[in-house]
Every structure is written in structure tokens, then in C-alpha cells.
Amino acid sequence: MIDLDHNATTPLDPRVRAAMVELWARDDLGNPSSPHGRGRAAREVIEAARRRVAAALHTEPLGVTFTSGGTEADNLAVLGAARALREQGRPCGVLTSPLEHPAVGAAVARLEREGFPVERVSVDAQGRIDPDDLAQRLRDRPELGLCSLAAANHELGNAYDVAAFSAALRAVRPQVLIHVDAVQALGKVPVSLTEWGVDLVSISGHKIGGPVGSGALVHHRNLRVEPMLCGGQQERGRRGGTEGLWAIHGLGVAVELAVAEQPSRRATMVARRAQLLQGLCARLGARIHGDLEHHVGNTLNVAFEGCAGELVMMALDLEGIAVSTGAACSSGVLQASPVLRALGQSPQRALEAVRLSISASTTEAEIDAVLAALTDAVPRIRHAASKETDAS
């Protein structure tokens, strides 16, 4: 199998697996909330992971709240922060974009149904966001108190200048809370709470070679968020429930590796992406969606005129090649991508899109094999589609 769907998930890094297996072999670990020796041993595992994540993302250990993954981290940031702002009597409306992952988009939509003010900034045909437009939206609507944007788009692979967003927003309202979904950014571009100048950052383990079921919301240590899970005081009251010890341990190792190796991983991915892009354009005349200048280095969103993306994905799957047509959270739903619709693509053109996402382990030979498979499949799909059109 050739995997070009790394934005959906990544294989467990062997070094992460080894660290988790070593922990599984221990028999001295209890409930991390218990005060006895077994509980204290488990607590130290969690706190060691917390220190690793905090150091990697430039915050304090008490500013790391572990979650079950990126979706929960995004939900906790958006729902929890907005509701906490309302409880404090502060502006609690949300400023966001139409390009966000469903984990953010659906959370914002829920707040909107609950009566929270919501403003969505405009994007251009490449999915770019103007910091000045963000600032103007905040200036025009004093009821907005939270901004939630992604550092990297999950479908397009666009990388955004988060520090510029933050500077523009704080020039208008210094106390505005800024949340960044860094799930698709970590390990591909530098991620830093302090250097970005933001308040909350969401990450996910299985996007960086860590275990499924692990994630974190990174934030300022005393930031208030309303918990979504009740029944316990774990994670300083922000996230009830007994901590997933082994997943958290694996996340800590994965984050440390992703940050340390980010420059070398990106260099390799950029080279493979350039090889893929050149072949797609030269041999297949592909239409490319997104910002070709500012990108995370591993993602291409492409379309082939007259070819349904779903059929292209199925044809490649038969050849042992994994790609996708959008966010894995939305798989099984045949509808035009909201991200591409926000870029101005018609429903028909949006349904032609295929997302190709590589990793640092993707080889030149694998890219050549994918290009060969597409060179065979795309004309066949076009021919079948034209025959169907003629028959109708």
C-alpha cells in the first residue's frame, strides 16, 4: 500500500510504540488520581509527558490539558473559552473562517445556535486570509471575544502567518482570546504558543506518529475554559475522567520527536511534493487548489476536469494507493467540500477534488507509481463520464 492520505492519520512511529510498550510492561501503575505509591507512579508518567509537550510548544506544564484528540481539543477551546467568557461578562462572540476543520466549524455552529455572535472572515480564491480584514471584523463588532483559526488547512495544505493574525487582532483588542488549530501544522511548520502570541493551541497525536486517542489543548496556565466533561477534577478541572496513561505517554514522545525533527521532515516532504506537483501539472493538466507559495509542504488538493474525485480515489484504491477527497471526519458524505465552495468553486468542480498528503517517509518511487496510476486512471474515468453524458 502506498499511503498518500497522511493528513487523515499517520502510522505509529516505531520509537513511540517502543516507549508505549515499555510502559505497558510496568506493573506499578495505578489510577493517576490515587494518593498511594501506584497512583503517584502513574501521575509522574503523565507529568513527564506534560513537561515534554510544554517544552516543545513553549509554554508552562500547567498550560497543557490532555484530551482524547484534536477534535476534543478544538471543542474545548471553542466551546469552553466562549462559554467562560460569557460567564465572566466579557465579549464572547467568535471570529472564524469558512475554511475550518469540522471540529471547529461545528463547535462554532453550535455556539451560533445558542445565540453567541459569530463572524466569518472572507477568503480569496486560494484560501488566503487577510490579517487586516480580521482586524476590521473585530473592530466593527465589539461583541467578539474569541478568534479561532487553523495554522494549516486540512484540505488545501495552506500555511498561515499566525503571528501576523495575532498582531493584527491585538492591535485592535489586546484582550481578545486567540485559538489556533495546529493539528495539521505540528511537525510540518514551527508551532509555538509564545512566538505566535496566542492563547490556545490544539494538537493531535495520530497526525504526528503518535497514538490514536491522544491530543492536547495548550494554553496559558490560568486561562479559564468551561469543561465539557463533568464528574472529576482531572486536568485542573478542565477535563474530567481518568487520564489515558499510555496514550498520553505516547503523545509526549511523539510531540518531542515532531518538533525536534520538523526541519528535516519538512525538507523531505517539500521535495516529494514538488515532484508530485510537477508530474500532476505536466502529465495530467491538474487543477491545483490552494496557496502554492505558503503551504505546509506535504499536501496537494488537485482536480482533473471531468473526473469525479470519488472515482479517482476508488481507482487508486484498487491499485493499492490511499488518497482522500477531504477531511476523514466527513468521509462517507458525498457533498461538495465547504472549503472549496468557500474558495468560489462550483459544486461540480468541488466534487472533482482529491487530496494527496505525503509524509517524510514517502519515496520518489512511490510518487512515480502514483503518477503512473493517475495517468492510466484519469483518461478512463473521463471517457466513461463522457459516454454517460452522451447517453443521457
Residue 226 cell numbers, joined:
468551561
Closest Cα partner for 315 from 247, 243, 378, 242?
Answer: 378
φ/ψ of 50, rounded to 5, equals: -65, -40
Whether 43 contacts 59, CB under 8 Å:
no
329 is catalytic: yes
Whether 206 contacts 63, CB under 8 Å:
no
DSSP state of 175: T
Whether 380 contacts 315, CB under 8 Å:
yes
What is the per-residue DSSP string for 184-223?
Answer: TTBTTB---HHHHT-SEEEEESTTTT--TT-EEEEE-TT-
The Cα-based distances of 265 to 10, 12, 185, 260 in angstroms read 14, 16, 12, 10
Distance separating alpha carbons of residues 183 and 287, to the nearest angstrom: 26
φ/ψ of 47, rounded to 5, equals: -70, -30
Query: Strands 93-96 and 144-150, how do they pair?
Result: parallel
Classify burial at 389, counting beta carbons within 10 Å of its beta carbon; exposed 0-12, middle 13-18, buried 19 or more. exposed
**Three-state DSSP class for residue 243:** coil
Classify burial at 335, counting beta carbons within 10 Å of its beta carbon; exposed 0-12, middle 13-18, buried 19 or more. exposed
In residues, how long is the chain?
392
The CA-to-CA distance between both ends of the chain, in Å, stands at 37
Active site residues: 329
